[in-house]
């Protein structure tokens, strides 16, 4: 999959731009605060209908303008299409090749992107929230079935929490639990496959990136033991029964996939306890490289790879290795403040976009 053209109007500090991108490596070069990440944010929005930086869409509208528009001209193995988004103060409108799409879910994932952003390092924090987000976003990008199961589970969870607050009878709780169990069966299976996919490849990618065997292991930790799939349904049922009294006192659902986690281990120890900052960055980068393979396997097309602020943190050796393993068949968008960071690391010359005060040349 290739992003051929990116057209922006009043997107953050970019008044107007029309960029013809290369199918190989594209570099966004500029000093701090000039608009490099803004460009990338607009591409990510076209993939997910959300910003990866802010929850408030209106923040992306150029100050004192009524709306912003993003146009992505995409080509994959089979077809060409244009994804257009207009964000205004009251919401957003989405179009695929000029036809308006009523639901964001019809738009999400049409442009497949794998992003490395330094914000993702939060994934190695104590809180499992970002790790669940990784599973939900990455699986959601390729599976509508997963998105629907997750959405339905969240609806039931909300209903169960409301029922607990209103001291509703146990018949309603049992009925909601059995629906939640069915949705969770689908969610758990997709997450298990996804995490196993990363586990199988992570150490190898890491070795390619930093020439060191860190013995990485990744495991999906669900709220019930999932080692025997034939038992999961019964285990969930039992756990709901065992914890119902506690849930009724606390008036909140304490168990479920909304509390699940991914465990990252390095040399047999929890990664967040022993890895250095640099090693965490490299592991994150290696995870992103695994995600490229995941999209390829499930969608039969390569995603666009976006690397924001990745180079300044890597030493020369690691930079060279990164460019060596970046598959030439993956279109890459990369931001940097300094061209020296990539010179000498590349096999083929990249297309360079100079970004200065929101102007891109
Ligand atoms: N809604 C907006 N309207 C106008 N300008 C905005 C808006 N939102 C952000 N900006 C401006 O965009 C600039 C930041 O752009 P961006 O985050 O893309 O920088 P960058 O080139 O990636 O810098 P760095 O190298 O520091 O990451 C800031 O100057 C900021 O004031
Ligand atoms: Mg930036």
Ligand 1 center to 131 CA (angstroms): 27
CA 351, distance to chain mean position in Å, is: 25
With bands split at pLDDT 50, 70 and 90, how would you rate the model's confidence at 212? confident
In the chain, pLDDT over 90 holds for what percent of residues?
79
Copy the structure tokens of residue 21.
Answer: 């991108």
Convert the pLDDT of each residue in 129-163 to its tens digit: 999 999 999 998 888 899 999 999 999 999 999 99
Evaluate: CB of 321 within 6 angstroms of ligand 1. Answer: no
CA 266, distance to chain mean position in Å, is: 23
CA distance 360 to 18: 9
CA distance 57 to 46: 12
CA distance 307 to 193: 26
Residue 170, pLDDT score? 86
Three-state DSSP state, 299: helix
Ligand 2 center to 38 CA (angstroms): 7
Mutation pick for ligand 1 pocket among 33, 54, 356, 359 (CB with most ligand atoms within 8 Å): 33
Cβ neighbours, 10 Å, residue 201: 19
Convert the pLDDT of each residue in 64-98 to its tens digit: 999 999 999 999 988 999 999 999 988 999 999 99
Give the end-to-end CA distance of the chain in Å, rounded to a whole number. 24
Is the pLDDT at 347 greater than 80, yes or no? no
Which residue has the CA at smallest separation from atom 16 of ligand 1?
Answer: 35
Of 29, 12, 7, 14, the C-alpha closest to 333 is 29
Is the pLDDT at 210 greater than 90, yes or no? no
Label the pairing between strands 269-270 and 80-88. unpaired
CA distance 29 to 257: 42
Mutation pick for ligand 1 pocket among 27, 35, 308 (CB with most ligand atoms within 8 Å): 35
Ligand 1 center to 34 CA (angstroms): 6
Evaluate: CB of 33 within 6 angstroms of ligand 1. Answer: yes
Q: Which ligand gives the minimal distance to the CA of 356?
A: 1
| 227, 194 contact by CB (below 8 A) | no
With bands split at pLDDT 50, 70 and 90, how would you rate the model's confidence at 340? confident
Copy the structure tokens of residue 290.
Answer: 């695994």
- Cβ-based neighbours of 218, under 8 Å, separated by 6 or more: 195, 198, 199, 202, 262, 263, 264, 265
Q: How many Cα neighbours within 13 Å face the side chain of 228?
A: 5
Of 245-249, 274-278, 319-323, the least confident: 319-323
Give the position, in ligand 1's atom list, of the atom nearest the Cα of 65.
Answer: 3
How confident is the model over 215-236, as a mean pLDDT? Answer: 96
Evaluated on CA atoms 144, 306, 296, 194, the torsion sign reads negative
Which residue has the CA at smallest separation from atom 15 of ligand 1?
Answer: 35
Mean pLDDT of the chain: 93
Is the pLDDT at 327 greater than 80, yes or no? no
CA distance 33 to 61: 16
Mutation pick for ligand 1 pocket among 10, 13, 306 (CB with most ligand atoms within 8 Å): 13
Is the pLDDT at 4 greater than 80, yes or no? yes
Query: How many secondary structure helices (H) and strands (E) does the chain include?
Result: 8, 15
Q: Which ligand gives the minimal distance to the CA of 36?
A: 1
Of 179, 130, 139, the C-alpha closest to 280 is 130
Evaluate: CB of 32 within 6 angstroms of ligand 1. Answer: yes
Evaluate: CB of 30 within 6 angstroms of ligand 1. Answer: yes
Question: Containing H/E element for 201?
Answer: helix 170-210
Convert the pLDDT of each residue in 58-71 to its tens digit: 999 999 999 999 99
Site of tokens 């910003």: 51
Ordered structural domains, the chain, with CATH: 1-112+336-361 (3.40.50.300), 114-300 (1.20.1050.90)
Q: Which ligand gives the minimal distance to the CA of 34?
A: 1
Of 97-111, 159-173, 273-287, 308-322, the least confident: 308-322
Ligand 2 center to 337 CA (angstroms): 9
Copy the structure tokens of residue 87.
Answer: 């964000």
Radius of gyration of the CA atoms of the chain, in A: 22
Residue 342, pLDDT score? 75
For residue 192, the 8-state DSSP code is H
| 288, 116 contact by CB (below 8 A) | yes
Is the pLDDT at 346 greater than 80, yes or no? no
């Amino acid at each position: 999959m290739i992003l051929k053209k990116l057209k922006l109007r009043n997107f953050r500090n970019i008044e107007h731009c029309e960029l013809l991108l290369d199918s190989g490596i594209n570099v966004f070069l500029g000093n701090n605060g000039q608009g490099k990440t803004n460009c990338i944010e607009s591409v990510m929005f076209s993939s997910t209908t959300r910003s990866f930086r802010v929850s408030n869409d209106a923040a992306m509208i150029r100050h004192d303008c009524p709306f912003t528009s993003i146009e992505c001209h995409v080509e994959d193995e089979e077809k060409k299409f244009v994804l257009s988004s207009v964000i205004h103060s009251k919401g957003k409108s989405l179009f695929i090749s000029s036809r308006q799409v009523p639901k964001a879910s019809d738009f999400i994932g049409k442009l497949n992107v794998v992003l490395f952003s330094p914000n993702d390092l939060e994934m190695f924090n104590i809180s499992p929230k970002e790790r669940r987000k990784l599973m939900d976003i990455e699986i959601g990008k390729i599976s509508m079935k997963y998105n629907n199961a997750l959405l339905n589970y969240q609806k039931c969870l909300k209903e169960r929490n409301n029922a607990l607050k209103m001291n509703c009878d146990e018949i309603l709780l049992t009925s909601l639990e059995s629906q939640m169990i069915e949705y969770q069966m689908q969610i758990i299976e997709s997450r298990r496959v996804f995490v196993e996919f990363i586990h199988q490849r992570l150490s190898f990618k890491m070795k390619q990136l930093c020439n060191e065997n860190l013995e990485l292991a990744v495991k999906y930790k669900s709220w019930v033991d999932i080692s025997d799939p034939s038992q999961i349904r019964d285990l969930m049922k039992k756990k709901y029964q065992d914890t119902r009294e506690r849930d009724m006192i606390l008036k909140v659902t304490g168990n479920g996939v909304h509390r699940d986690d991914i465990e990252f281990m390095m040399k047999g120890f929890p990664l967040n306890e022993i890895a250095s900052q640099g090693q965490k960055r490299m592991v994150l980068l290696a995870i992103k490289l695994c995600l490229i393979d995941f999209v390829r396997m499930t969608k039969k097309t390569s995603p666009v790879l976006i690397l924001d602020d990745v180079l300044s943190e890597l030493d020369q050796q690691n930079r060279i290795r990164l460019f060596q393993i970046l598959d030439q068949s993956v279109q890459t968008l990369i931001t940097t403040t300094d061209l020296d960071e990539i010179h000498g690391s590349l096999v083929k010359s990249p297309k360079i976009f100079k970004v200065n005060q929101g102007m891109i040349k």
